[in-house]
Structure 1
Amino acid sequence: MGIVLRNLQNVVPLRRARLRKDVETLRHILGVQKFDLGIICVDNRKIQNLNRIYRKKNAPTDVLSFPFYEDLRPGKMPCALHRDEFNLGDIFLGVEYVMQQCRETSCDFHGTLTVVAAHGICHLLGYRHETEEEWNEVKKKKKNSPYIRTMDLNYSSGNPMLSHLIELKYISSLLS
């Protein structure tokens, strides 16, 4: 099974081969390499439109995840019974938004994009943080997972890129 990587924007230069390699490594680390995954890179206009439609938030964002298994619980692996069910879902990466955040924080764009993709994959695997209950569940699961452990800072500080920096340091050590 593989990754379908589409670049539907032309605002930010994108090193697709590196992103593909990094996401393959993430899939292997998470034990989901046998599942297909779609990654679609879009500009601010497209990600804002999707965010408005699906999350009722009229602003661009870094990542939106659309899981194939909508009711997957955190820590539970998808149970695919047929070949066409070996699919995690799709991740839309707001690469223009990520680039803007990287410029503001002087971060490496491609490294940060890998971290944002990791965050999206975690959402495909059932990790959520929309409600207090979900947030507490995510924190509890992270205590047992060194890979996910740093995710609990995401969006809690008001600056998602700050917490992505913490994730980036950990994920970079895994990719080295």
Structure 2
Amino acid sequence: MYQLDIANQQELLPVNESELEKVVHLLLNEEQVAAAEISLVLVDNPTLRELNIQYLNHDYDTDVLSFLLEEEQLEVLDSPRRGAGKRIEGELIISTEMAIERAPEYKWSAENEFILYLIHGILHLLGYDDLTDEERMLMREREQAVLTLCGLELPASTPNE
């Protein structure tokens, strides 16, 4: 049903792969996703910046890149969730270095900041965006809902605003 492949190409932040899988499963279940294959690559800031330039022509540091490779609506569900009934295939590339740098700003751990990036990236794969105030507000609501399922709370000031 849900498959997460993790390629850890960094040594800055220790990661618990089973915890990451748990978060991904909670999120995908909450969003009523029918099936998903997600590749997760963990890198440092220079690597993610290089990829941001290469693929999006954005010459700046970022926390997560999301690439939706394939999407199929397997069943139609009466649900406000954007992932409802979908099968998705996608790739996330996350900078653990950015999580380490930004976490103190928000007074929580680098691990929690990283989890937020993971949630944020998957929500992008499911069709959520943060380009308008309305969309950003919806993205924050969904992030908080998933963080709550994980026993976490979004800091008062959040990244990506």
TM-score bucket (shorter structure) = 0.7 to 0.9
Corresponding position: 1:138 with 2:129: no
Q: How well do the aligned residues superpose, as a CA RMSD in angstroms?
A: 2.9
* 1:150, distance to aligned residue in structure 2 (A): 2.8
Once residues 61 and 118 of structure 1 are traced to their aligned partners in structure 2, the CA distance between those partners, rounded to angstroms, is: 15
- Share of identical aligned residues, percent? 26
**Which structure shows the higher helix fraction?**
1
Once residues 76 and 103 of structure 1 are traced to their aligned partners in structure 2, the CA distance between those partners, rounded to angstroms, is: 32
Q: Which string of whole-angstrom CA distances, capped at 9 and with x for unpartnered residues, describes residues 72-127 of structure 1? A: 9x936575xxxxxx433011111111111013433122222222111111111122
Equivalent residue, structure 2, for 1:106: 107
| Residue 13 to residue 139, structure 1, CA distance change in 2 (3 Å) | closer
Question: Which blocks of at least 5 consecutive residues in structure 1 are unaligned?
Answer: 80-85, 143-147, 152-166
Question: Which blocks of at least 5 consecutive residues in structure 2 are unaligned?
Answer: 74-80, 152-161
Equivalent residue, structure 1, for 2:119: 118
Corresponding position: 1:29 with 2:30: yes
1:138 aligned partner, one-letter code = E
Aligned match for 2:82, one of 52, 75, 85: 75
Once residues 43 and 9 of structure 2 are traced to their aligned partners in structure 1, the CA distance between those partners, rounded to angstroms, is: 5
| Residue 129 to residue 175, structure 1, CA distance change in 2 (3 Å) | closer
Corresponding position: 1:172 with 2:147: yes
- Counting matched residue pairs gives 143
Check whether the contact 2:26–2:146 (CA below 8 A) recurs between aligned residues.
no
Check whether the contact 1:69–1:78 (CA below 8 A) recurs between aligned residues.
no
Equivalent residue, structure 2, for 1:88: 89
1:171 aligned partner, one-letter code = V
Equivalent residue, structure 1, for 2:141: 150
Check whether the contact 1:60–1:94 (CA below 8 A) recurs between aligned residues.
no
Once residues 35 and 68 of structure 1 are traced to their aligned partners in structure 2, the CA distance between those partners, rounded to angstroms, is: 11
Equivalent residue, structure 2, for 1:17: 18
- How does the TM-score come out when normalised to structure 2? 0.73
Partner-residue secondary structure (3-state), 2:14: coil
Once residues 55 and 37 of structure 1 are traced to their aligned partners in structure 2, the CA distance between those partners, rounded to angstroms, is: 20
**Segments ≥4 residues shifted beyond 3 Å:** 76-79
Partner-residue secondary structure (3-state), 2:23: helix
| Residue 76 to residue 172, structure 1, CA distance change in 2 (3 Å) | closer
Once residues 150 and 22 of structure 2 are traced to their aligned partners in structure 1, the CA distance between those partners, rounded to angstroms, is: 10
Equivalent residue, structure 1, for 2:76: none
Partner-residue secondary structure (3-state), 1:11: coil
